[in-house]
Structure 1
Amino acid sequence: MRKILFFSVLMLVCTVAFAQQALWGGAPVISPEIHDNNTVTFRLKAPKAVKVQVTGDFLPTQKIKTPFGEFDGPGVVDLKEGKEGVWEFTTPEPLKPELYSYSFIVDDLKIMDPSNVYMIRDVASVTNVFIIGGERADLYKVNDVPHGTVSRIWYNSPTLGMNRRMTVYTPAGYETSGKRYPVFYLLHGMGGDEEAWIALGRTSQILDNLIAQGKAEPMIVVMTNGNASQEAAPGETHYGMVPPSMNLPKTMEGSFETAFPEVVKFIDKTYRTKANKQNRAIAGLSMGGYHSLHISKQYPDMFNYVGLFSAAIMPDKKVQSPIYDDFDQKLKIQFSKKPALYWIGIGTADFLYQSNTDFRKMLDEKGYKYTYYETGEGHIWKNWRIYLTEFAPQLFKK
């Protein structure tokens, strides 16, 4: 009996060992490997490859031409082949604290790092990610602090004629506190959706950490889908797994701004909110900044805090909508009501830098008070995460 039991255990161990070998295919390749000095090694096992490269925002930028203009894009560097077909590259200098994205290029084919399960989608691009901790980047990490709740919730928009989805962050303790909370509406850019700020912007991590540190007030954060033709993010609607696209109808022609009061009404009805101007904020990046600008001036009694992150400013000249009529007069009314904060942030290399400069000049000439925050680099999530960490602590202060 003991012999049978022994052989049974032996067979089980062998089976597990063989299963693991089949699953992993031998010793695992570690990539990315973050060293103690914050240099990083990337590795890829590709014994039949002729050329392997890594591209990512940890490298110096390069100019990339797109249908929407020329942008700063991630650099590219070659890996060197080593033993057993493992290609390798180590950054020559330590990386600064930040959330970084990257992918491999094998013989001109872009692929994900098979050794790194952490990936993020940005419109139609998928990249691997890793974090170098320290300084501001610690706000992007999941730390040992009380955590809020992230929900995907549907609402009806009669103006747009469909049910639509939004992502809502409620702060730690919301479910049991019985309290009412201020609301921050946070809007994405062109091609993004209600998932963008949570995934790429690290909203829940940033808010959890700022609130825990006492640097931000506990607040509800509402992240809508700013594409008025969409029900929700690609793959999350009855249309199925349609390809994500930047070229969507009804994005910056007034529909979203017209329908936005329905979002506010739904949130005030569904959540325990402080339902007044003094306890509402709106901000967004790029197209979302454009929406924030025009929503806040269209409804001057709705928001006391406004944030424009690398914002587009004015509509295309071909666009006709009552939302954009009487721009100067609406802006005058908005500032006559003295918003608590009108905040503008942009990078010096951003393709929208000049239009933001012109807008600020106009505000200066009219004596409209605003706060300006300038960073380096361009139209990138690195900047927008920074802006969120700077803007959120200024909201709802007594």
Structure 2
Amino acid sequence: MAAMKSLALVLVLSPVWVAAQTPPAPAWISPEVHGDQRVTFRIAAPKAQAVTLRGEWMKGTESLALTKDSEGLWSVTTAPLPADLYSYSFMVDGVKTIDTRNPLLKTGARSSDSAVDVPGAAAAHHALRAVPHGTVHIELYSSGATGTLRRLHVYTPPGYEAGRGRYPVLYLLHGSGDTDREWTSYGRANLIADNLIADGKLKPLVIVMTDGHPADPNNPALRARNTELFAKDLLESVIPFVEKKYRIEARRERRALAGLSMGGAQTLATGLKALDHFSALGVFSMGPRGETFEEEHRAVLADATGTNQRLRLFWIACGKDDFLWEPALRLHETLDKRGIRHVWKPTEGAHNWLVWRRYLSEFLPLLFQ
């Protein structure tokens, strides 16, 4: 009887105990996306003297100052933002921090920011839509260039696992602040490809995203050889590994190479010297930054007829507010002068993912026509 009374007491008290252990709903959220596409950002910092917000939608050194309420909660609401995925961070008394209330992050090679997704038609090209989706694979391979195991990401299109056919391949390179992960985790290359395939604008393909930092960043001597080591890694290790494991058409006519910023420089340095491997090149937000480009690629530039026959697509794009606008423009002018056929696409925008997602969505449908 005593045991039954104890059990009854436990059963009666259990809901109270559970309720006491359930964490309360948060009193505030951040970021809060409003119906008119304004966004409110908040951070609790009762002892802070000044808090500002930096966002990927801002120009130059712009920032927004937050206001503190009586409880020590800082907040600011933006003007309506165009639909897109944006990174942002807070500066709290001069110290950069992420938004601790927001699990969505833009990671990178050296630091991370928070991210906010403002939905709308302008971002439809990289939106998560109810269409068939491909698969993103994470692979480790042995690199002859570094003597280490290295990581890469591979996108296979919808239907790949169930089929037997072979696919063309794009090797897609990131910038200096990122890794092989960011083209899918933040650039949404997989969703862009899924949507284009679903809309009938892109023939299914495989996309391989490699790590463009083969050299130890803490070793200055090796860091100076990063481009050289990257080319060796790509041509001698990455391509053989991927073509052995995945159903890829292993011929130059069905291979393309493209990249943004540092990846654009690697595309130029590696791709122009390996037209026996690639038939299409894409350069996003990059151009020659020194005086040696024409000398380094003398053979390709001197033989416009031969280069134009081998290079089915040479696509270059850069935003007019990009700090690399002048190098990109010089690349276009040099190719024009040498008679090298290419597509030159000057756009609005700066050096950020807002333009790079759009560039990829425009570049992909032009491949393997």
Q: 1:284-323 to 2 correspondence within 5 Å?
A: 284-313=259-288
Match of 1:98 in 2: 84
Cα shift at 1:349: 2.0
Give the aligned residue type for 1:130. V
Cα shift at 1:180: 0.8
- Distance of aligned partners of 1:86 and 1:217 in 2 relative to their CA distance in 1, 3 Å threshold: same
1:346 to 278, 295, 318: 318
Separation in structure 1 between the aligned mates of residue 152 and residue 143 of structure 2, nearest angstrom: 12
Separation in structure 1 between the aligned mates of residue 205 and residue 227 of structure 2, nearest angstrom: 30
CA contact (8 A) 1:122 1:200 kept: no
CA contact (8 A) 2:280 2:311 kept: yes
Match of 1:329 in 2: 299
2:67 to 77, 80, 83: 80
Q: Deviations over 1:328-367 (max 9, x none)?
A: 2134456242422110001112222212222211211222
Cα shift at 1:207: 1.4
Query: Which ranges in structure 1 are unaligned for 5 or more consecutive residues?
Result: 63-74, 231-243, 318-322
Give the aligned residue type for 1:124. R
Q: 1:100-179 to 2 correspondence within 5 Å?
A: 100-179=86-165
Cα shift at 1:393: 1.5
Deviates more, 1:33-42 or 1:200-209: 200-209
Cα shift at 1:285: 0.9
Seq. identity, %: 37
SS for the counterpart of 1:172 is coil
Separation in structure 2 between the aligned mates of residue 252 and residue 375 of structure 1, nearest angstrom: 29
SS for the counterpart of 1:153 is strand
Match of 1:192 in 2: 178
Query: Which ranges in structure 2 are unaligned for 5 or more consecutive residues?
Result: none
Separation in structure 2 between the aligned mates of residue 210 and residue 246 of structure 1, nearest angstrom: 41
Cα shift at 1:37: 0.7
CA contact (8 A) 1:131 1:137 kept: no
2:252 to 277, 288, 291: 277
Give the aligned residue type for 2:69. G
RMSD over equivalenced CA pairs, Å: 2.6
SS for the counterpart of 1:174 is coil
Separation in structure 2 between the aligned mates of residue 81 and residue 159 of structure 1, nearest angstrom: 53
CA contact (8 A) 2:171 2:256 kept: yes
CA contact (8 A) 1:185 1:283 kept: yes
Deviates more, 1:176-185 or 1:117-126: 117-126
Cα shift at 1:183: 0.3
Match of 1:16 in 2: 18
- Distance of aligned partners of 1:315 and 1:16 in 2 relative to their CA distance in 1, 3 Å threshold: farther
Separation in structure 2 between the aligned mates of residue 336 and residue 352 of structure 1, nearest angstrom: 26
Q: Deviations over 1:166-221 (max 9, x none)?
A: 11111111111111111000011224321121223111121122222222221110
